Structure 1
Amino acid sequence: KKGDSASSTTPPTPTPKTTVDSTPKLSATAKGKQPARAITPTKPTDVQRTKAEQLKIALKRSRQEMHISQQRGSGTDEGSG
């Protein structure tokens, strides 16, 4: 039975596959964006900056949502306490 428990712990392997599958999608979208902005190849840094800005914006939004959810949770906890 111990072997069965060990086998149950091994399945986590499929999880990385999902991440690998998601990466090609990101690369595909990036490739699709590059040609559109290839009109101005003189400033490739602009493209990188825009990508970085988009990532920052996404992170900020996600952080704000997390803060909001935490504030709501803390408010309920304080009220019950």
Structure 2
Amino acid sequence: AMGEAAPKPKASARKKKGDLAFSTTPPTPPPTTTVDSAPRLSATAKGKQPSRATTPVEPTYAQRTEAEQLKLVRKRSRQETHISQQSGS
């Protein structure tokens, strides 16, 4: 349940990143999101990485891809949660 609930606020933080830019707390969410989703994305991004690497010219597309990846990670996190524990241990 924790693994499933963790990505949810991160997805919101990622979308609200633009709004947070006006606030005084933009540096806080990005590092947390990157550090937390990096290990999870690494597994999911294995197949997605080439897609994003093929379109480095379009930052908007890359951002959309990350947002969609977070959605996929949210779903896959449930499955990968126990898988990650097995591989990590």
Task: Give the TM-score normalised by structure 1.
Answer: 0.30
Higher relative contact order (CA 8 A, sep 6+): 2
Task: Give the TM-score normalised by structure 2.
Answer: 0.28
User: If you compute each CA radius of gyration, which structure gives the higher value, 1 or 2?
Assistant: 1
